A and B are shown apart, each in its own frame.
Chain A
Amino acid sequence: MRIFVVSIILLIANVLQSTLFDIIRIRGIGPNLSVIIIVSFALLRGSKEGAIIGFAAGLLADIIFGVSRGYLALIGACIGYFCGKFNKDFYSENLVLPFMLTLISTIVYGLAVSLPFILRGKLNYIYFIKDIILPETIYTMILSIIVYQIVYVINRAIERNENTNRKIF
């Protein structure tokens, strides 16, 4: 059940991002929805599930749009794993922690994605940070406030469902 719901969410997020979000780009920069989803699920469910969801989300993006497979999956798994570490000292109504973790994760994600450019000899790092990573981070953070609420509601619904199922058997 949980696997099914989460994979549907990841698919919807990916489709939304590649179609509808093209309209809401500001000066060519769009938000990073998959990072928000990885961070919120990792926070709500812990390291193990965070890493798996991160890996799945990254692999999905890799397969759909990437040339090489596995790089975004690697980044996603790491982000999910380390955000899941904060699961213990986190209560669901706390909004500051997902906000801050989204900020850090988006920056890390951006830096990691820019690594292939540097290996290929595009060394204008200031441009990458100033014109791509920073606007993307701000946009993603604003969006994370909304998306986190949705993920929280969905997660609570799944948990309630799992509990009732357990009582029956």
Chain B
Amino acid sequence: MKSSKKKKNKNILIILLVAGTIGLVLTIGRRYQIKVIENTMQYITSPIQRGVNLVFNKTGNITGNFKDIHELQASNEALQKELDQLLYDNNILEQYRDENEKLKELLDLAERHSDYPSKGANIISKDPGNWYKVFIIDQGEKAGFKQDDAVLAGGGLAGHIIETGPLSSKVLAIIDDRSSVSATVLRTGETGILRGDIELIQDGFCKFEIDIESEIITGDQIVTSHLSDIYPPGIMIGVVEEVIISKNGLSQYAHVRPLANFKDLKQVLILEKKGS
């Protein structure tokens, strides 16, 4: 009697485990690729790459020092003149920027994205866990929302709809670890990838990965790029807070503060896609 009851208990656990696994397998593959093998490989290859890189940098410096001292002095003088001119220009542009910002504030949020029909919605609940940033809004298919519609808040991009029901929709915030957005630096036009990061999620920051050669600085404005499938181009995302070059010197990324304040988000604006 007792042993049969035990067996029954175990069977229940096994049934539940199998059900869970099937659900997991059916749904896991559609969002992201698992790349644990590539990452373990990196642990083997990256020290070698780093060593080679170090050796080349050091020897390059030694030979380079003896060349072209005269040329350097001449170019230094020319650059100094250019710098003075640029500083003056920069001051004027600074004033223009302030003026521009004030004018932008005067315009309504909905008017700025007048190309796309937009609708407001309220946030009704947020993910209770400490790992992800998903929230639910109170409008769904009945209001005409579709999957992959862009969601705005506080004048900037907040995320996109990942699932719609008849009455509510699930929104993945841009600071969620699973989110990535193709973005452009407004000043230089260079594109990079803006990802959410689990370590920055409490501060409400995003990580903007960009080419090491690009001259991104603190205060740069980041907008959505023309490359993105789901986000319309030119939506403001946020401002660069800090630029960090990775330890091996091969990549750089910036911490971006989104205009949307995720801590006390109440209302959002949904842009519906044209033609779809």
Contacts and interface: CB of A to CB of B under 8 A. Distances in A.
Interface of A: 14-15, 17-19, 21-22, 27-30, 32-34, 46-48, 51-52, 55, 58, 61-62, 64-65, 67-71, 73-74, 77-78, 81, 113-114, 117-124, 127-128, 131-132, 136
B4 interface: no
B31 A68 contact: yes
Contacts of B249: none
Given A73-B16, A120-B32, A65 B9 contact: no
Contacts of B202: 27-29, 131
Contacts of A118: 36
A69 B170 CA distance: 14
Interface in B116-133: 124-132
A113 B129 contact: yes
Given A15-B125, A28-B263, 19 more contacts: A30-B130, A62-B23, A65-B132, A67-B31, A67-B134, A69-B24, A70-B19, A70-B22, A70-B23, A73-B23, A74-B20, A114-B131, A118-B36, A119-B34, A120-B35, A120-B177, A122-B177, A131-B202, A132-B131
Given A64-B136, A124-B199, A17 B20 contact: no
A75 to B, nearest CB: 8
A120 B12 CA distance: 31
29 contacts: A18-B126, A18-B128, A28-B263, A30-B129, A30-B130, A32-B128, A34-B128, A51-B13, A55-B20, A58-B20, A61-B128, A64-B136, A65-B129, A67-B31, A67-B172, A68-B24, A69-B23, A70-B22, A71-B20, A74-B24, A81-B9, A113-B129, A117-B198, A120-B32, A120-B34, A121-B35, A121-B39, A122-B199, A123-B39
Nearest to A109: B129
Interface of B: 8-9, 12-13, 16-17, 19-24, 26-28, 31-32, 34-36, 38-39, 124-132, 134, 136, 162, 170, 172, 177-178, 197-199, 201-202, 263
Contacts of A65: 127-129, 132, 134, 136, 170
B24 A77 contact: no
A119 B36 contact: yes
Contacts of B9: 46-48, 51, 81
Contact of A68 (B27, B38, B125, B126): B27
B13 A81 contact: yes
What 7 A-B pairs come out closest when comparing CB atoms?
A70-B23, A74-B20, A17-B128, A18-B125, A68-B27, A70-B24, A28-B202
A51 to B, nearest CB: 5
Given A121-B39, A122-B177, A132-B130, A68 B28 contact: yes
A interface: dominant SS: helix
B128 to A, nearest CB: 4
A70 B20 contact: yes
B12 A51 contact: yes
Contacts of B129: 30, 32, 61, 65, 113
Contact of A77 (B16, B124, B172): B16
Contacts of B26: 69-70
A15 B36 CA distance: 35
B264 to A, nearest CB: 9
Contacts of A119: 34-36
Contacts of A124: 199
Given A47-B9, A64-B136, A52 B16 contact: yes
From B17, B20, B177, name the one whose CB has the most chain A CB atoms within 10 angstroms.
B20
A67 B178 contact: yes
B3 to A, nearest CB: 14
Given A52-B12, A67-B31, A68-B28, A73 B130 contact: no
Contacts of A51: 9, 12-13, 16
Contacts of A67: 27, 31, 134, 162, 172, 178
A117 B170 CA distance: 21
